[in-house]
């Protein structure tokens, strides 16, 4: 009998896929990759997989690895897809593939199955990561198989399938939007969110954040320390990567920080609407940028900022295990070496307000920058500087005068 490993979340799609793969004759090993999903009952998910009939069901804890080796390098790039999305789902997918392939090797599975649709980005992230790690891997993507789509033309049919088999799922016909969660964020899409006239942040039942309107009527201060661009402590307490993200999720979440609603361009070519919440990572991005402003050379920062959208795009598309991203990550590890210091932030009703910052590597020189007299900067030097800078414009103006 053929055997496969299924990246199993316990949600609607993978619960149906587990049953369908068994119907197709597969022994299925369900693998729940624990990414720190804040709203999920892990034991219930394992019990459900076994009750459906999985050959085995296991949890693989990657919470620290996700934050330390995947999220923090992207944070160091200040990478945001299309200027807004902090890539919480995108970052997790290559790690899921890595762990599933490791389990497949252990159990001798013939294939790796996932529940990503043929319209979305996740199919790209799962498969591109898996093939980069194992070029001979066999991928089973039921949503790209016509027989599966004929059996389940929509979420209503999937919900009915679960009802008939007594498989508990969170989705319903009345509230059919989909969510994906980990310790970095929760994403929401589909259902009524596909209607752009619907207010997404009012429709969604958020799992990590309160609304800014319901956040406390007082400022909460948080202090974050970085070493070479890596967050290392919160409010003076040194923590590991997952602990930092978890604590800042609580602090940012109760202050209404980190919600966005956007229409984004999927890798497969269509636009889609997504609502996201990422309280902890939003606070970390804000704090990290402040320490960079103190410590990074101007031209190096500007070069990094020009490359940052390229990194965000590669992560979003699924090219995590790629020679270009390897090289870019190596570049930024060098660029981040001086990014050490502490930032103090005030959180208030969805806002992040700088309260103060310091760094032993600060390039800010008050004696040079001051508008008062003195210091080592001689303003007379600016005369020659500007004459040299303006030379090309003066020559062009004589040859091709502009109308004004």
Active-site annotation holds for 41: no
Bridging pattern class, strands 3-7 and 56-61: unpaired
* Distance of alpha carbon 99 from alpha carbon 61, whole angstroms: 10
Active-site annotation holds for 178: yes
Of the listed 90, 178, 179, 246, which one is catalytic? 178
Residue 359, token pair as written in the block: 């760094």
For 47, residues 6+ apart whose C-beta sits below 8 A from its C-beta are none
Of the listed 13, 78, 180, 261, which one is catalytic? 13
With CA atoms as reference, report the closest residue to 125 among 81, 61, 65, 172. Answer: 81
Number of Cα atoms under 13 Å in the Cβ half of residue 148: 22
CA–CA–CA angle 24, 25, 31 (5° rounding): 90
Q: CA torsion angle for 386, 391, 393, 394 (degrees, to 10)? A: 110
184, 37 contact by CB (below 8 A): no
Number of Cα atoms under 13 Å in the Cβ half of residue 206: 25
Active-site annotation holds for 304: no
Other Cβ atoms closer than 10 A to 61: 15
* Distance of alpha carbon 22 from alpha carbon 28, whole angstroms: 7
For 351, residues 6+ apart whose C-beta sits below 8 A from its C-beta are 212, 257
With CA atoms as reference, report the closest residue to 183 among 105, 53, 88. Answer: 88
* Distance of alpha carbon 340 from alpha carbon 337, whole angstroms: 8
Of the listed 78, 90, 97, 122, which one is catalytic? 122
What beta strand segments (E) does 228-336 contain? 230-234, 237-238, 259-265, 271-277
With CA atoms as reference, report the closest residue to 287 among 355, 336, 217. Answer: 355
Of the listed 90, 93, 261, 308, which one is catalytic? 93
- H helices present in 27-87, as ranges: 42-52, 63-65, 72-76
CA–CA–CA angle 113, 143, 278 (5° rounding): 75
Active-site annotation holds for 326: no
279, 345 contact by CB (below 8 A): no
* Distance of alpha carbon 152 from alpha carbon 157, whole angstroms: 5
Catalytic residue numbers? 13, 93, 122, 178
């Amino acid at each position: 009998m053929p055997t496969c490993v299924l990246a199993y979340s316990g949600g609607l799609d993978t619960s149906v896929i587990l049953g369908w793969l068994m119907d197709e004759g597969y022994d299925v090993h369900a693998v729940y990759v624990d990414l720190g999903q804040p709203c999920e009952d892990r034991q219930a998910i394992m019990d459900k997989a076994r009750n459906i009939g999985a050959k085995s069901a296991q949890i693989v804890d990657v919470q620290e690895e996700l934050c330390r080796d995947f999220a923090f390098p992207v944070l160091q790039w200040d990478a945001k897809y299309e200027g807004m999305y902090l890539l919480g789902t995108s970052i997790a997918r290559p790690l899921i593939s890595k762990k599933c392939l490791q389990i497949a090797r252990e159990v001798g599975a013939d294939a790796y199955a996932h529940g990503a649709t043929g319209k979305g980005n996740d199919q790209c992230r799962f498969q591109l990561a898996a093939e980069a790690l194992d070029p001979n891997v066999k991928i089973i993507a039921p949503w790209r198989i016509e027989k599966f789509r004929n059996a389940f033309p929509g979420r209503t049919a999937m919900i009915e399938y679960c009802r008939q088999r007594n498989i508990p799922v969170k989705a319903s016909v009345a509230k059919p939007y989909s969510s994906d969660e980990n310790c970095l964020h929760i994403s929401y899409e589909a259902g009524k969110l596909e209607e752009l006239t619907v207010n997404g942040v009012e429709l969604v039942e958020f799992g990590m954040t309160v609304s800014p309107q319901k956040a406390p009527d007082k400022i909460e201060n948080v202090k974050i320390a970085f070493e070479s661009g890596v967050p290392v402590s919160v409010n003076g307490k040194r923590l590991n990567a997952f602990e930092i993200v978890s604590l800042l999720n609580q602090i940012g979440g109760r202050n209404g920080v980190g919600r966005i609603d956007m229409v984004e361009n999927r890798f497969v070519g269509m636009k889609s609407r997504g609502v996201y919440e990422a309280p902890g990572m939003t606070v970390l991005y804000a704090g990290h940028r402040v320490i960079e402003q103190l410590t990074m050379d101007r031209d190096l920062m500007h070069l990094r900022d020009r490359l940052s959208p390229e990194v965000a795009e590669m992560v979003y598309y699924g090219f995590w295990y790629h020679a270009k991203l390897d090289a870019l990550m190596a570049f930024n590890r060098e660029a981040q070496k001086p990014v050490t210091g502490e930032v103090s932030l005030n959180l208030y009703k969805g806002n992040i307000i700088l309260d103060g910052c310091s760094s032993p590597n600060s390039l800010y020189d008050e004696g040079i920058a001051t508008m008062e007299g003195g210091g080592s900067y001689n303003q007379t030097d600016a005369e020659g500087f500007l004459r040299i800078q303006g030379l090309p414009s003066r020559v062009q103006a004589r040859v091709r005068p502009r109308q004004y």
